[in-house]
Amino acid sequence: MAVSEMKEKTLQGFREVFGDTEGVSCYFAPGRVNLIGEHTDYNGGHVFPCALTIGTYAAARKRADRKLRFYSVNLASQGVIESDLDSFVPLHEDSWTAYPKGVIWTFAERGMTLPCGLDLVINGNIPNGSGLSSSASLEVLTGFLLRDLYGFTLTNQELALIGQYSENHYNGMNCGIMDQFASAMGKRDHAIFLDTATLRFEYAPVVLQGMELIVTNTNKKHKLVGSAYNDRRRESEEALRALQTVCRIRTLGELSDADFDHYAAVIQDPVVRRRAKHAVYENNRTLRAVEALKAGELARFGELMNQSHISLRDDYEVSCRELDVLAETAWTVPGVLGSRMTGGGFGGCTVSIVQEDAVARFREIVAEKYRQEIGYDCSFYAVSVGDGPAKL
């Protein structure tokens, strides 16, 4: 659906539930796909995501009182959810409104208390539970619209940090900075090469001449992302503590592959050792991948994507059968340069770079194999790399 249509649908939702659209402003913040650098962002490593042209839209208006009223066009059956500015309870929310509330709460934590409430309607076109960061886009969107409506002075990078903080402390998901950063700092036709240890970043053009970026959704329903994700963080921290007894590092992202191999034996638990190996190797792989992309060596970039998947599957163990079937089948199709799971894992999507003339074959072979092995359909999206948040 085009931007104008999404905006119109969002305004229509606002009109339906709140009566009129007098003085309402509209906003957008994107979802993201990560090209490479997975589970490195809380290990002081590098990531290489890009913002997408799909994301979350909002229509918002300040109120005279302290009430908050939320409505999601996507979850219309939940109706209008009411709250007020004085009733925030971190870690106790059970609806989608925990995301905007978490951001409002974080603003207040930082001395930016809202002087009055608001009516907020949201409407997203990121497929549900796809791992393309619908929650980060909603967090960045909320920060962006609060800044605009209430006149706060904040950079987009600060909006990303606020989104992450709210996700960590209000929603109990111990995520890194990648998703919110990609959403807040997105740039059309560019990926963001971000050093998560320093937040220094550069934009790298994603010029895929004759290629397409295809996201394939496993459509897997039940996934226990939160707890397994937090487990991986703990294991990474445990590995870091062991390594710090023999070398001076602040994060796993500071080690070369060779240094890691040299010191790895100090990590007693073989599972924890494999987790750390992934974090270190994936970070260095990301550096090499960005070099390859800059040099126009797409085949090399694709190979590194495949290696990334194998490492996430075998060492970090955040893949799942559905993701493996998608990636491993893609690898067998001539014209596929690379394919890997993207995002946190345990479900969600793969990202593949496919030659234009091989796209039809890729879809046909992957769809068929997936249905045969998994028993239901996957979905394909030819995605475009878009800009960060905007007022529409």
Q: Determine the 3-state secondary structure of 139 from DSSP.
A: helix
Q: How far is the CB of 102 from ligand GLA (least distance, A)?
A: 14
6 is a site residue for ligand GLA (CB under 6 A):
no
Contacting residues for 137 by C-beta, under 8 A, at least 6 apart: 29, 30, 31, 32, 55, 56, 124, 126, 183
**Stretch of 35-43, 106-114, 286-294, 364-372 lying at the interface with ligand GLA (CB under 6 A):** 35-43
| One residue of 39, 61, 274, 340 binding ligand GLA per CB under 6 A | 39
Phi, psi of 335 (to 5 degrees): 100, -5
DSSP string, 242-284: HHHTTS--SSGGG--HHHHHHHGGG--SHHHHHHHHHHHHHHH
| Whole-number Å distance between alpha carbons of 98 and 138 | 10
Rounded distance, CA 8 to CA 218, Å?
30
Please give the size of the binding site for ligand GLA, defined by CB under 6 A: 10
Contact 121, 73 (CB under 8 A): yes
| 179 binding ligand GLA? (CB under 6 A) | yes
Annotated active-site residue in 41, 179, 315, 324: 179
Taking the least distance from each CB to ligand GLA, the nearer of 39 and 340 is: 39
Among the listed residues 243, 239, 222, 229, the one whose alpha carbon sits nearest the alpha carbon of residue 317? 229
* Min separation Cβ 343 and ligand GLA, Å: 5
Q: What three-state secondary structure class fits 221?
A: coil
Q: Measured from the CB of residue 31, what is the shortest distance to ligand GLA in angstroms?
A: 11
Tell me whether residue 176 or residue 388 sits nearer to ligand GLA (CB atom): 176
Report the alpha-carbon angle 142-346-383, nearest 5.
Answer: 55
Closer residue to ligand GLA (CB): 21 or 230: 230
235 binds ligand GLA (CB under 6 A): no
Q: Per CB under 6 A, does 41 bind ligand GLA?
A: yes
**315 given a catalytic annotation:** no
User: Which one of 34-42, 94-102, 322-330, 331-339 is the stretch in contact with ligand GLA (CB under 6 A)?
Assistant: 34-42
| 31 lines the binding site for ligand GLA (CB under 6 A) | no
From candidates 60, 178, 293, 323, binder to ligand GLA by CB under 6 A: 178
Part in contact with ligand GLA (CB under 6 A); list of ranges 38-46, 185-193, 242-250, 353-361: 38-46
DSSP state of 53: E
Q: From residue 65 to residue 104, what is the string marking binding to ligand GLA with x (rule CB under 6 A)?
A: ----------------------------------------
* Span of 119-127, 176-184, 245-253, 350-358 interacting with ligand GLA by CB under 6 A: 176-184
The three-class DSSP label of residue 86 is coil
Query: Which residues make Cβ contacts (< 8 Å) with residue 68, sequence separation at least 6?
Result: 82, 83, 84, 85, 101, 104, 117, 118, 120
Q: Which of 44, 100, 343, 389 binds ligand GLA (CB under 6 A)?
A: 343
Alpha helices in 110-194 (DSSP H): 134-150, 156-169, 178-185
CA-CA distance, 241 to 222, in Å (whole number)?
33
The token pair at 148 is 């605009």
- Candidates 175, 185, 204, 213; binder of ligand GLA (CB under 6 A) is 175
List the one residue from 35, 36, 38, 346 that touches ligand GLA (CB under 6 A).
38
Instruction: Indicate whether 348 belongs to the interface with ligand GLA (CB under 6 A).
Output: no
Angle at CA of residue 285, ends 284 and 287, nearest 5°: 65
Among 344, 386, 388, 389, indicate the residue that binds ligand GLA (CB under 6 A).
344
Sorted by sequence, the CB contacts under 8 Å of residue 8 that are 6+ apart come out as none
19 neighbors 61 (Cβ within 8 angstroms): no
**Residue positions annotated with a catalytic role:** 179
Q: Which residues bind ligand GLA (CB under 6 A)?
A: 38-39, 41-42, 175-176, 178-179, 343-344
